[in-house]
Amino acid sequence: MYQLALTYRYLFSKVMPLLAAVGVALCTLMVLVTWSVMSGFLGMLINTGRTLVGDVSVGWPGAGFAYYDELIVDLEKDPLVEAACPMIETFGSITPPDARPRGVLIRGVEGASYARVTQFADTLWWKPVDEPLPKDKARMDPRLDGLGKAAWSEIYKNGLSLTRPDPRTGAAMPAIVPGIHVTGLNRRYIEGYYKPLLIERRQSTGKSEWIDAFLPLDPDLPVVVTVFPIDSMGRPYEAYSRNLPVANEFQSGVYEFDQSIVLMNIDSLQEMLKMKEGLRVVDAPAAPSAQPHGESFAGAPPPATVRDPARVTNVLVKGRGDMSDPARARALRERVQEIYDRFAARHNGEVPSAADIEFVTWEEQNATFINAVRTERTLLLVLFMIISFTAVLLVLAIFWAMVREKTQDIGVLRSLGAGRGGVAWLWVCYGLAIGLVGSTVGLIGSYLIITNINPIHDWLGKQLGLVIWDPKVYYFTVIPNRVEPLDAGVVFVCGILACGLGAFIPALRAAWMNPVAALRNE
């Protein structure tokens, strides 16, 4: 009983323990705010990372595999599968109108089916919007007006179909949809919207003019796309370049994607990569020794050929229901693998076996950047926990001093019959109480900060010019925050236990004090 009574009195009659409680509160607050923002960031990355890849991907990079239409039909018959679509993924380069080439990952897709399997339609940036972005109080986003709704709708439709109407005939021409940072011709503002940059264009007269580099609108601003085809046997052909207009641009929310991926019409890409159905020479006749005037040798047999079916490098699969749980995505992957097994058995020797081909879930596909952020989050937490360990040392130092100050009280307690265990428990109780007060204050403070992190951030920006989370750097307009009650509970309990731990050594010292020496202490 005396432990509770003394703990209560000690807690509110001294400044030092209250300072320790403030230290604990700050540490709890720091860990919780960091954890929630990093968890929110990770959650955002995981969600946005799934937007363009489907739930499971069947892949055979490079040469690709044939009969994919048949595989898609098989997949879509399964109750676990909602939709599937073909995709070609290859490395290439683009040269935007500013004539600065850059290496990219080119994905050939068929707009409608790709939109069924992924959230491609939602990622298209240039579209009519009614409401400004949360931070765009001045309504500066060009999508809000300017071209007018009809024009924005047209650009959006172009993006969905990966085509642009020919300005002369009106016929649909194949076009590309690059990530919004691929061309480097869009400037991102702090409020989160984009505006095209001005670029210099040289006219036929030799003069140059500055124009808005809004690629999805201007028919005279094509992009040169270059790919490196290989045949079904994996043998390389010469590089193939083609001028393609930009239909729209996408923003997935993952910077790595938005600055390196270019989507284009699958038919065009198949053609450029020589992955369309066609004849392949398998046994060319020996060249004649001497033919006058370059004429062909009339008696030579025609070359032996085989018909190569069209190929893709991937089939993307969307599962039925919510696949955000990695375990469900893995179950879907197992099912897709079974379906592919049967498909490969039917086409023995014509398609790669299930053992060779890659089956990856969205999580495995994005493992590089998800794990990087996970590691960063863990690293930050470890660092902050090490810093928070100073709270333990703070409590230890304060308690060490307090035990010294209260030596006579300890002697009195022992003389009145308090045991060593009881005296030790008094100090541990006291430490736990400081932890409880500090952690509670820290928990409440962190909740208030986390739930108001965006207004606080905006206010700091206005008053002090401080922009800690620059959207241009962190790639989100609203600071992501997610408080997991379990995580908060763990931090809360750890804060209390850390103080108990800090009090433990001084408590032992108090317990093993000789009561006579303690009473004589001055």
Partner 1 sequence: MMPLLSIHSVHKTYRLGRVPVPVLHGVSLSVEPGEFIAILGASGSGKSTLLHLMGGLDRPDAEPRGRIEFQGRDVTTMASGELDGYRNNAIGFVFQFYHLLPEFTVTRNVLLGAMIRHGVLAYMGRRADLHSRAKELLEKVGLSHRLTHRPQELSGGERQRVAIARALMNDPPLLLADEPTGNLDHETGGKIMDSLLALRRERKLTLVVVTHDAEIARRADRVVRLLDGRVA
Q: Which residues bind partner 1 (CB under 8 A)?
A: 1-2, 4-6, 9-10, 13, 408-409, 411-420, 422, 514-516, 519
Instruction: Give whichever of 336 and 410 is closer to partner 1, judged by the CB atom.
Output: 410
- What amino acid is encoded at 122 in this protein? D
Instruction: Give whichever of 324 and 521 is closer to partner 1, judged by the CB atom.
Output: 521
Q: How far apart are CA 229 and CA 360, in angstroms?
A: 24
Instruction: Give whichever of 1 and 15 is closer to partner 1, judged by the CB atom.
Output: 1
Please report the sign of the dihedral spanned by the C-alpha atoms of residue 396, residue 401, residue 406, residue 407: positive
| Closest distance of CB 519 from partner 1, Å | 7
Please report the sign of the dihedral spanned by the C-alpha atoms of residue 412, residue 413, residue 417, residue 423: negative
Range list of H helices, 406-482 = 407-415, 420-451, 453-464, 471-474
Determine phi and psi for 60, rounding to 5 degrees.
-140, 85
List the structure tokens of 381.
Answer: 């937490």
List the structure tokens of 139.
Answer: 């309504």
Q: How far apart are CA 138 and CA 155, in angstroms?
A: 24
The distance in angstroms from the start CA to the end CA of the chain is 27
Helix (H, G, I), strand (E, B) or coil at 107: strand
Instruction: Give whichever of 101 and 421 is closer to partner 1, judged by the CB atom.
Output: 421
Instruction: Give whichever of 315 and 518 is closer to partner 1, judged by the CB atom.
Output: 518
A 10 A CB-CB count for 61 gives 13
A 10 A CB-CB count for 388 gives 21
Q: How far apart are CA 241 and CA 238, in angstroms?
A: 10
| Closest distance of CB 40 from partner 1, Å | 42
Query: In three state form, how does the secondary structure of 163-195 look?
Result: EEECCCCCCEEECEEEECCCCCCEEECCCCCEE
Instruction: Give whichever of 4 and 239 is closer to partner 1, judged by the CB atom.
Output: 4
| Closest distance of CB 465 from partner 1, Å | 48
Instruction: Give whichever of 6 and 42 is closer to partner 1, judged by the CB atom.
Output: 6
| Closest distance of CB 373 from partner 1, Å | 48
| Closest distance of CB 507 from partner 1, Å | 16
Bridge partners, residue 88, by sequence: 108
| Closest distance of CB 255 from partner 1, Å | 58
| Closest distance of CB 501 from partner 1, Å | 24
| Closest distance of CB 19 from partner 1, Å | 18
| Closest distance of CB 517 from partner 1, Å | 9
| Closest distance of CB 8 from partner 1, Å | 9
Instruction: Give whichever of 1 and 464 is closer to partner 1, judged by the CB atom.
Output: 1
Instruction: Give whichever of 390 and 415 is closer to partner 1, judged by the CB atom.
Output: 415
Instruction: Give whichever of 345 and 517 is closer to partner 1, judged by the CB atom.
Output: 517
Closest CA to 189 of 148, 147, 140: 140
Query: In three state form, how does the secondary structure of 391-413 look?
Result: HHHHHHHHHHHHHHHCHHHHHHH
DSSP-assigned states of every residue in 340-386: HHHHHHHTBTTB--TTTSEEEEHHHHTHHHHHHHHHHHHHHHHHHHH
